[in-house]
Chains A and B, each alone.
Chain A
């Protein structure tokens, strides 16, 4: 297919339209889920000591818009979300929007450090093992990555705590202090959760880079370059590596999106009080509006990050078929 500006635009619009559709579905799922949750929000609002009469109940229900048909309630809710109003926490009455805004950078610090660590190790390991498939390094790495992928994060994290906190006493087992408050303590607390997430991602990236590099090295243009008499190293770094990187960027992007919703267990285990930790605390406390808002924010960022990754990929890779 010809790659004209128009076809790229058409594809991008289609992809954006699809994401909007998905976002709509996500909001419907989250809305329906909270509707099905046990407990009457009106009674919660009135409280045990409030006016328990039917008139007061109806009045509060009308105030909250709960006397409207369900689909109208849905649109009222969407309107509130779009204007940044996520409601207040049932637990302490704090504004949920504010709470989430505070938690996002905490999670981002953890995710970004873990990803950078994983990438820094995976690029040399993955490409080196692909240059000599079946060799000693390749076989060792296959065993290691297979193991890392079968190890649940919380198991690995617990082993780290046993080793680094209980046995060696090098690192504090859990907690969170912001970087601005105490940079050294922030990093000491960050090491174990970042390693836990990072090792898994490292396995994912190494495996991907290995198979991608092997398939690129087998392609016609690389064989042509080799046939011209260029040495393998030069062929590799001048031609193959760049092409591997293009697809690798999308894999990193997808993993980043996945981690946005995938840090709950790790954050909880290490007391790293980011967004995942916040959602878990809200689940335990049956704080439905907070769970709803947290899940919604993560799901939205997941869809948006994947959309951006996809569009960037389309823009930079000339080989992609637009269909």
Chain B
């Protein structure tokens, strides 16, 4: 086997994601203050030794709020992508494997879901259910599971008549066994890549919703809602805007880069 060179950007992306993961799992280790600790003496300050990234309009430490906000963003990103996967993958397997009418019915329903602008459907659902992490996860997974169904179905169609599948069938394996134990493992690469892309999209939707005040509710720290408030103090503190912006940008970029790296990794055609 050839040794593959790993790009520098991939390593940086991985490091950033590990840090964010740590923030989400044990924020108390990384934060320097309590995220809700108010200190009106030091509001809207720039970076200093005491407050690494400055403070917000209540003198709350921005670095600590970023650290504590990671959990909400990651929960929504990976939660939504995970539920979409659980809904979409079996549907895609069934549609591709059985074909004909079953395939037609499932895929037409997927068409209908995909022909609805996703952000709009999310807004509609959030208006009705109260905004929260759960609502966000539910909403985003509902608007995105057809992507998984479509991708898995495409994979199944190209795999189901291959020799190793025929062989398994000849040994007397039943349909569920062939679908889940023989075909599914061969779809893992495209599922993984799509999972990372979807997680990035979900994080963007979460940030956007929180920015509109329809996502994570204050005083709970979330990167998107920090920007909502930063916007009101735009004339007084620029760090307040820059900090969440750069955070969201870096995390989404890292997830995207890692998705690209995985695609290259799994794709044998790209091996040089």
A binding-site residues for B, Cβ under 8 Å: 18-19, 21-22, 25-26, 29-30, 33-34, 36-38, 146-147, 149-155, 158-159, 161-162, 166, 173, 257-258, 260-262, 264-265, 268-269, 279-280, 283-284, 286, 288, 291, 295, 298-299, 302-303, 306
Knowing A291-B127, A299-B120, say if A150 contacts B231 (CB, 8 Å): no
In the docked arrangement, what's the CA distance between A279 and B231, Å? 20
In the docked arrangement, what's the CA distance between A146 and B115, Å? 26
| A291 and chain B: residue at smallest CB distance | B127
Interface residues on B, range: 35 or more
Contact yes or no, B119 A264, CB < 8 A: yes
Query: In the assembled complex, how far is the CB of residue A207 from the closest CB belonging to chain B, in whole angstroms?
Result: 12
| B246 and chain A: residue at smallest CB distance | A155
8 pairs of residues in contact across A and B, judged by CB atoms under 8 Å: A29-B124, A150-B253, A152-B204, A158-B231, A284-B213, A298-B117, A298-B120, A302-B117
| B251 and chain A: residue at smallest CB distance | A150
In the docked arrangement, what's the CA distance between A21 and B190, Å? 30
Knowing A284-B213, A291-B127, say if A146 contacts B208 (CB, 8 Å): no
B211 within 8 A of A: yes
Knowing A150-B200, A155-B248, A260-B117, say if A283 contacts B211 (CB, 8 Å): no
Contact yes or no, A25 B245, CB < 8 A: no
- The 7 lowest CB-CB distance pairs between A and B, nearest first, are A261-B117, A150-B253, A261-B120, A155-B245, A150-B252, A25-B112, A22-B112
- List B contacts of A260 (CB < 8 A): 117
Contact yes or no, A151 B211, CB < 8 A: no
In the docked arrangement, what's the CA distance between A26 and B214, Å? 22
Considering only residues 223-253 of chain B, those with a C-beta below 8 Å from chain A are: 227, 230-231, 234-235, 238, 241-242, 244-245, 248-249, 252-253
In the docked arrangement, what's the CA distance between A26 and B241, Å? 37
In the docked arrangement, what's the CA distance between A29 and B116, Å? 10
B binding-site residues for A, Cβ under 8 Å: 108, 111-112, 115-117, 119-121, 123-128, 200, 204, 207-208, 211-214, 227, 230-231, 234-235, 238, 241-242, 244-245, 248-249, 252-253, 256-257
Chief secondary structure at chain A's binding surface: helix
- List B contacts of A264 (CB < 8 A): 119-120, 123, 212
Knowing A22-B112, A265-B208, say if A162 contacts B117 (CB, 8 Å): no
- List B contacts of A158 (CB < 8 A): 227, 230-231, 234, 241, 245
- List A contacts of B127 (CB < 8 A): 33, 37, 283, 286, 288, 291
- List B contacts of A36 (CB < 8 A): 128
Q: Which of B111, B124, B230, B231 has the most CB of A within 10 A?
A: B124
In the docked arrangement, what's the CA distance between A298 and B257, Å? 32
In the docked arrangement, what's the CA distance between A18 and B257, Å? 36
Given contacts A158-B231, A302-B117, 20 further A-B contacts (CB under 8 A): A18-B111, A25-B112, A26-B112, A26-B115, A36-B128, A152-B211, A152-B249, A154-B227, A155-B207, A155-B244, A155-B249, A158-B245, A166-B238, A261-B119, A265-B211, A279-B120, A279-B123, A283-B123, A288-B127, A303-B115
- List B contacts of A257 (CB < 8 A): 117
